[in-house]
């Protein structure tokens, strides 16, 4: 109980004050989550839902009435129902209303690249947008502490429009996600999911668009929102999960987070799937039909910061490690965007058994024409004659755009990667850990852990004063 209180108070102080710190920029605040929050999990029981099919009519007459249930509270810290009721007297842990969250939808196309907002409900209308139901529709959903006009969302939108003649819908739920209270953002994902479900049902009823013409792309919490929406509108053709969020979802069951049953094809790119105690903002577990692990999926090349102050050692985590995690977490959407715009860049994906021993075997294997290898990114579904990806894959990338390694780099990966993987998949005997598999061991554990039980941050401060 006291440990959780310590975690909670530190989380509040860290995130609330982060806006004034030089080591976190506005863009980096996306998915800014306390590492101790990684032991939280979501206990949301979604009530039974009913849907009302809108009649065939002109879209001006379509009612905004198709909604799904939203839970009354979220036990994100795992205290249980009794403690949750007590905590609610001091902290609001219920999802916000649709009016407060204010989920917004912005449409783009090749003929109308300047995005235009389409309003839900009675204001719904497509007169000012170039939406064609016969096209494939891409829906992009951002994560925690982000918004629909973030640079990566705009870059991905432009990349999709260059890639194909598609409709693009960028969802903005910053009204529910831009809060230092991460558990509130998690609670609001269900509200956002309900609002998006109602909007898409209204859109499909008005235009005749088909569920199987949709491809959802969600980053972090946006990946779980995409899962929720797809489940409630009848399984879309594809969901691409970009490092799906781990905090509050690490122990959640498959109905509460993205998994392979949520769409006809679910592909996941894991870029920060580390041990929860080592600031893993993304889920490390295989979740989809195809799971890609760039450079092992724990941390990404080029994501580092050595600007720790002397006070950093008194904190539960170091600022540089948090910044490294944020950078690795965001690398997922950069890699996916690159797969859209660069035809000369191939993110070759090798079948991998999630072990260190399997890394060398994977990257040294010959990719034959029978489909032993695949490709991470937009072509994972099997475009341009490639086989559809299935299973878990190891992918090599570089630290800078276009992130695509040369043939020589494919054959001889950078030494530090192999060092990280070697130590990351070897548990230190001092740890005496029996519940963590070798596949999810972390390279940071190997050098840094020197005792069986690490002292709390306040004990470390007391020790410095004798």
As averages over each run of 10 residues, the pLDDT of the chain (466 residues) reads 38 38 40 36 34 38 48 55 60 82 97 95 91 97 96 97 97 94 89 96 96 98 97 97 90 80 97 75 94 92 66 60 89 96 85 83 66 87 85 92 83 68 50 35 36 42 44
Candidates 146, 125, 132, 340; CA nearest to 245 is 146
Using CA atoms, how far apart are residues 36 and 76, in angstroms rounded to an integer? Answer: 12
pLDDT of residue 144: 95
Domain boundaries, the chain: 2-448
Candidates 106, 211, 223; CA nearest to 168 is 106
Counted residue by residue, the chain has a size of 466
202 CB-near residues (< 8 Å, 6+ apart): 54, 59, 62, 63, 64, 66, 120, 121, 124
Candidates 194, 380, 409; CA nearest to 295 is 409
- pTM for this predicted structure: 0.76
322 CB-near residues (< 8 Å, 6+ apart): 24, 32, 35, 279
pLDDT of residue 181: 85
228 CB-near residues (< 8 Å, 6+ apart): 189, 190, 193, 197
pLDDT of residue 77: 54
pLDDT of residue 175: 95
pLDDT of residue 307: 52
Using CA atoms, how far apart are residues 163 and 410, in angstroms rounded to an integer? Answer: 26
pLDDT of residue 8: 39
Question: How is residue 58 annotated by DSSP?
Answer: -
Sign, CA dihedral 83-85-86-92, equals positive
68 phi-psi bin (left φ>0, alpha ψ -120 to 50, beta other): beta
Catalytic residue status for 220? yes
CB atoms inside a 10 Å sphere around CB 345: 16
Element (H or E) spanning 250, and its range?
Answer: none
What fold characterizes domain 2-448?
Rossmann fold (3.40.50)
Catalytic residue status for 307? no
Q: Which of 194, 220, 230, 362 is catalytic?
A: 220
Catalytic residue status for 172? no
Q: Which of 37, 172, 243, 442 is catalytic?
A: 243
Sign, CA dihedral 60-66-72-78, equals negative
pLDDT of residue 79: 53
Q: Which of 318, 329, 390, 442 is catalytic?
A: 329
Residue 318 in 3-state DSSP? Answer: coil
């Amino acid at each position: 109980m006291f440990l959780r209180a310590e975690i909670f108070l530190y989380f509040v102080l860290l995130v609330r004050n982060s806006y004034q710190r030089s080591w976190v920029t506005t863009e980096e605040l996306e998915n800014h989550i306390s590492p101790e929050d990684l032991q939280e999990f979501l206990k949301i029981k979604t009530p039974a839902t009913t849907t009302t099919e809108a009649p065939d009519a002109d879209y001006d007459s379509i009612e905004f009435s198709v909604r799904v249930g939203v839970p009354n509270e979220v036990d994100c810290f795992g205290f249980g129902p009794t403690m949750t009721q007590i905590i609610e007297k001091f902290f609001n842990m219920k999802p916000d209303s649709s009016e407060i969250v204010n989920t917004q939808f912005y449409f783009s196309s090749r003929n109308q690249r300047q995005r235009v907002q389409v309003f839900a409900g009675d204001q719904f209308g497509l007169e000012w947008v170039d939406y064609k139901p016969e096209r494939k529709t891409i829906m992009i959903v951002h994560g925690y502490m982000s918004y629909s006009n973030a640079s990566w969302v705009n870059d991905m939108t432009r990349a999709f429009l260059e890639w194909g003649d598609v409709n693009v819908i960028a969802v903005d739920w910053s009204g529910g996600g831009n809060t230092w209270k991460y558990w509130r953002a998690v609670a609001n994902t269900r509200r956002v999911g309900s609002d998006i479900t109602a909007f898409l049902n209204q859109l499909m009823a008005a235009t005749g668009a088909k569920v199987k013409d949709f491809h959802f792309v969600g980053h972090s919490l946006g990946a779980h929102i995409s899962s929720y929406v797809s489940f409630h509108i009848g399984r879309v053709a594809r969901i691409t999960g970009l490092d799906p969020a781990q905090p509050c979802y690490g122990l959640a069951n498959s109905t509460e987070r993205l998994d392979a049953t949520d769409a006809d094809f679910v592909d996941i790119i894991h870029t920060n799937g580390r041990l929860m105690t080592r600031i893993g903002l993304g889920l490390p577990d295989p979740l989809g039909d195809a799971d890609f692990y760039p450079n092992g999926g724990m941390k990404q090349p080029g994501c580092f910061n050595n600007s720790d102050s002397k006070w950093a050692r008194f904190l539960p985590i170091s600022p540089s490690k948090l910044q490294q995690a944020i950078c690795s977490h965001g690398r997922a959407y950069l890699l996916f965007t690159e797969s859209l715009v660069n035809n000369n860049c191939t993110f070759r994906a090798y079948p991998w058994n999630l072990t260190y021993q399997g890394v060398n075997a994977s990257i040294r294997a010959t990719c034959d024409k029978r489909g032993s290898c695949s490709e991470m990114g937009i072509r994972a579904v099997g475009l341009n004659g490639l086989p559809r990806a299935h299973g878990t894959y190891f992918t090599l990338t570089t630290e800078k755009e276009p992130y695509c390694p040369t043939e020589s780099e494919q054959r001889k990966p950078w030494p530090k990667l192999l060092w990280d993987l070697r130590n990351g998949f070897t548990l230190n005997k001092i740890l005496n850990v029996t519940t963590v598999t070798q596949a999810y061991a972390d390279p940071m554990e190997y050098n840094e852990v020197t005792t069986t039980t690490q002292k709390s941050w306040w004990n470390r401060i007391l020790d410095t004063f004798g």
